[in-house]
Structure 1
């Protein structure tokens, strides 16, 4: 079903069964396959391919030459049902690649709302991307990566499969991550090492003075005093009842399996 208010270039191919909402714009030489759903007000530039069970929300912008919803590059993928779910208000730069999930990862790659992905960004199968994140030119997430809200990746960053990049963290340009990055930590290098606290993160600036002090205290325990992670977890549990922002740390350490950067 294609809304009567949608604008579709004559040279684009739209297969039967595609759902295109009101005021969507599809540029020239695009291909959109059966099963794709595009929400109101989204803009698809030229030469974009959108495949499979892919849901795109409202007011997204997808740059030219992008591949959205292609099958996983995981060699274990054997044609099973898998999907890509993109939220609202995302900016996806030209020549970006976003893949569907796999059975081993729950079958769904999820992208939240209000994210900015610049040119050549790659998001692999089964990734879980939060809200208000940003990724610089040619940065990539391997399969099963979790990217927390308000996290930022510079240009040419690479995140190893199954890693977690915590809420409000910052990866500087050319950073390679092979272990988990805790919330609000600045990291750089190959392999990534901690460089301080991302005090410009929106989630950090919105915290009150006491909460910011507690976050600095946790960073000090982890990276200046080099206290064992299990001891830090106990400190987080003790403080989180009084400071709800620390629930993000609880969630991070609950899910972390690869160890944290040091």
Structure 2
């Protein structure tokens, strides 16, 4: 079904069965598959391919050469129907690729709202990406990666499959993320080292100074203490477990992980 208010360039192809919402704009030389749903006000600028079972939320803009909803780059994929779900108010720039999921992992790749994907960034099968996320140019997410809300990744960063990147984390340009990054963490280098906390991101999200300082203090106790990370956490857990930001941090560390936690850079001692 195509809304009467949609504007579709005559050079573009929209397959029968596609659902095109109010005010959608489809520019020249685009392709929209038969199982695609475009929400109200979506804009496909030009030369965009949206295929597979893909839904794009209201007012999201997709720029030249992006390819959304293609089948997974996985040798075990056998043509099953899986999905890509993209939220509202996202900006997806030139050459971005996002793939549908694998049937043995739930079959859904999802992207939240108000996120920005810069040129040639890649979201692989079964990734779960939160809202208000920024992936800079050429960022690569492997399959099954989880990215929390308000994460920022610098250009050329790569995230290994099955890694988790906690909310408000910052991953530096060209960083190799092969282990989980805690909420609020800052990861840089190859291999990636947890260098501290994303204090600027914490402040921008509305956390007050007292809470920021508390999280910083707890980070040092957990990652720079004498014991292992989990030993240090258990030693202080009851003193801080009522603070919302730290509840998230503790739950992230406690959760089962395919990859383990990225470690902090140790201070030099004389």
TM over 0.5: yes
What is the CA–CA distance in structure 1 between the aligned matches of 2:200 and 2:163, rounded to whole Å? Answer: 23
1:9 offset after TM fit, Å? 0.5
Q: 1:137 maps to which residue?
A: 137
TM-score (norm: length of structure 1): 0.95
Q: After the TM superposition, which of the residue ranges 243-252 and 186-195 deviates more from structure 2?
A: 243-252
Contact 1:24/1:40, CA 8 A, preserved across alignment? yes
What is the CA–CA distance in structure 1 between the aligned matches of 2:9 and 2:188, rounded to whole Å? Answer: 43
Q: 2:21 maps to which residue?
A: 21
- 1:36-83: CA deviations, max 9, x gaps? 000001110111111111011101011110110000001111112210
1:22 offset after TM fit, Å? 0.5
Aligned residue pairs, count: 262
2:43 aligned with 1:36: no
Runs of 4+ in 1 over 4 A off after TM superposition: 202-205
Q: 2:261 maps to which residue?
A: 260
- After superposition, the CA RMSD in angstroms is 1.6
1:114 offset after TM fit, Å? 0.5
- Quickly say closer, same or farther: Cα 1:203–1:84, change in 2 above 3 A: farther
2:89 aligned with 1:93: no
Alignment of 1:55-94 (within 5 A): 55-94=55-94
**What SS is found at the alignment partner of 1:149?**
coil
1:188 offset after TM fit, Å? 0.7
- 1:15-54: CA deviations, max 9, x gaps? 0000010111101111111110000011101111111110
Unmatched runs of 5 consecutive residues or more in structure 2: 264-270
1:144 offset after TM fit, Å? 0.2
Alignment of 1:109-120 (within 5 A): 109-120=109-120
**What SS is found at the alignment partner of 1:201?**
helix
Contact 1:221/1:227, CA 8 A, preserved across alignment? no
**What SS is found at the alignment partner of 1:230?**
helix
What is the CA–CA distance in structure 2 between the aligned matches of 1:20 and 1:177, rounded to whole Å? Answer: 38
Alignment of 1:165-244 (within 5 A): 165-202=165-202, 205-225=205-225, 227-234=227-234, 237-239=237-239, 241-244=241-244
1:222 offset after TM fit, Å? 3.4
1:161 offset after TM fit, Å? 0.1
What is the CA–CA distance in structure 2 between the aligned matches of 1:90 and 1:255, rounded to whole Å? Answer: 30
- 1:133-174: CA deviations, max 9, x gaps? 101101110000000111100000100000011111111111
Q: 1:11 maps to which residue?
A: 11
**What SS is found at the alignment partner of 2:200?**
coil
What is the CA–CA distance in structure 1 between the aligned matches of 2:258 and 2:227, rounded to whole Å? Answer: 18
What is the CA–CA distance in structure 2 between the aligned matches of 1:62 and 1:7, rounded to whole Å? Answer: 15
**What SS is found at the alignment partner of 2:68?**
strand
1:231 offset after TM fit, Å? 2.4
1:261 offset after TM fit, Å? 1.1
Contact 2:30/2:49, CA 8 A, preserved across alignment? yes
What is the CA–CA distance in structure 1 between the aligned matches of 2:75 and 2:218, rounded to whole Å? Answer: 40
What is the CA–CA distance in structure 2 between the aligned matches of 1:260 and 1:226, rounded to whole Å? Answer: 17
TM-score (norm: length of structure 2): 0.92
**What SS is found at the alignment partner of 1:200?**
helix
